[in-house]
Structure 1
Amino acid sequence: MDLEVGDKVSLIIGTETHLGFTVLIDESFEGLLYRNEIFEELKENQRIAGYVKNIREDGKIDVSLQPQGFRNAIELDTEKVIEAIYDHDGFLALTDKSDPEDIKKELRMSKKAFKRAIGSLYKQKQIVIGEEGLTLVKE
């Protein structure tokens, strides 16, 4: 097996189980995508990019739809938030107090990831966090 944790891989979604979805990795290996890693609707036989999260001692492979590692994940999440703010004309009606389901529906990320992303954007002075939502800082 020439896979390593963090590798970007091609996934084909398989059957749904009580844990998540079985997946075929790079058309060669079987793996598992856990429910808590899924922030979008998936269909059987759907092709999607993923990342190797863990290779267990028994040879089974866990995958994620987000890259592994704090820096990679935050960069992707901050890009998603910025794009969403642009798409909503400079204001996004979500805050750190928003319902996790609203965040998941709008941005396809967890509330934890959202809070990390907006914290990073706020520190970089790219957004203002208001009572009603996020506003892009004009340059």
Structure 2
Amino acid sequence: MDFNVGDQVDLIIVNETPLGYTVMINGVHEGLLYRNEVYVELEDNSKHTGYIKNIREDGKIDVSLRPQGFLNVIDSDVDKVMSLLNESPYGYLLLTDKSPPDHIRYHLNMSKKAYKKALGHLYKQKLITISDEKVALVDKK
């Protein structure tokens, strides 16, 4: 096996299991995509780009649909949040860091943890304000 953690691979969804989805990696190796890391609808035989998350001691491979590592993921999450804020007519979202995880998952296709990290990044750059009711762009008029 010539994979390293973080490698980009081609995935084919084989079937759904209680833990998640069995996948074929590059058409050769079997892997597992955990259910709690999937934020989109997946169908059997659908093709996706994935990333090697972990190669276990028993030789089994865990994969993810998202790049591994904070720096690889934060940029795309920040871009997604900024895009939604810029598309909003009033420059705000009614999803805050206190919103239920299922609301964030439904509207943004990301985990609450990822959303909060993106908000923290934008807040530190002084691009947004966060209140109990909304997240708003600083300079949107």
TM-score (norm 1): 0.93
Task: Report what 1:135 is aligned to.
Answer: 136
SS at match of 1:78: helix
Gaps in structure 2 of 5+ consecutive residues: none
Gaps in structure 1 of 5+ consecutive residues: none
Shift of residue 13 of structure 1? 0.9
2-structure distance, mates of 1:138, 1:46: 41
SS at match of 2:103: helix
RMSD value, Cα: 1.3
Task: Report what 1:26 is aligned to.
Answer: 26
Task: Report what 2:127 is aligned to.
Answer: 126
Q: Would you say 1:94 and 2:116 are equivalent positions?
A: no
Task: Report what 1:112 is aligned to.
Answer: 113
Q: Does the CA contact (< 8 Å) of 1:50 and 1:67 recur in 2? A: yes
Task: Report what 1:81 is aligned to.
Answer: 81
Shift of residue 7 of structure 1? 0.7
Q: Does the CA contact (< 8 Å) of 2:53 and 2:68 recur in 1? A: yes
1-structure distance, mates of 2:28, 2:125: 42
1-structure distance, mates of 2:107, 2:130: 17
One-letter amino acid matched to 1:111: K
TM-score (norm 2): 0.92
SS at match of 2:129: strand
Per-residue Cα deviation, 1:11-35 (whole angstroms, up to 9, x for no partner): 1111000000001111121100001
Shift of residue 131 of structure 1? 2.6
Q: Does the CA contact (< 8 Å) of 2:98 and 2:132 recur in 1? A: no
